[in-house]
Each structure stands twice: as C-alpha cells, then as structure tokens.
Amino acid sequence: MGRSPWRVMVPWMAGMLIALLVGSWLVWLSAYIQRTSAEEDVRRACRHVMPETVDRCFDTVVIQRGGVRR
C-alpha cells in the first residue's frame, strides 16, 4: 500500500508554515534595524548641527520627510 496523502501533506504544510513565519520575522527584523539606523543617523546629524535642540531638530526632520527613511 502507498502512503496516505495526509502523511505526506502534513509535514510539508508544517514546513511551509515554519518557513513563512521565519521569513516574516526576518523581514520585520531587517525593517526594524534599518529604521533604527536611519533614526540614529538623523539624531547624529542633529547633534552635530543643533546640539542644544536635538529633539526639536529630529522631530522637524521626521515631519518634513514624512517619516524616517534613508
């Protein structure tokens, strides 16, 4: 007798689900790291140009750009 279709499909579906979850987590992690890096770059530039008002400078840049991006 051959294998039943469920004995083949269940491990395949579980593997695909795990791959989807790991892939989604990696995409989220890379976006988070990129955003954090961009924020730090803006803060560093603001500290260099306007050291007394870093937060105000950062907020202004973020508003003008429509968000933090490179």
Give the predicted TM-score (pTM) of the model.
0.69
**Dihedral of the CA atoms 53, 58, 60, 61 (nearest 10)?**
140
* More confident site: 42 or 68: 42
**Dihedral of the CA atoms 23, 26, 28, 30 (nearest 10)?**
-140
Task: State what percent of residues in the chain have pLDDT above 90.
Answer: 70
CA distances from 68 to 13, 22, 31, 45 (A): 38, 26, 11, 13
Residue 33 has pLDDT above 90, yes or no: yes
Looking at residue 20, its pLDDT comes to: 97
The chain-wide mean pLDDT, for the chain, equals 90
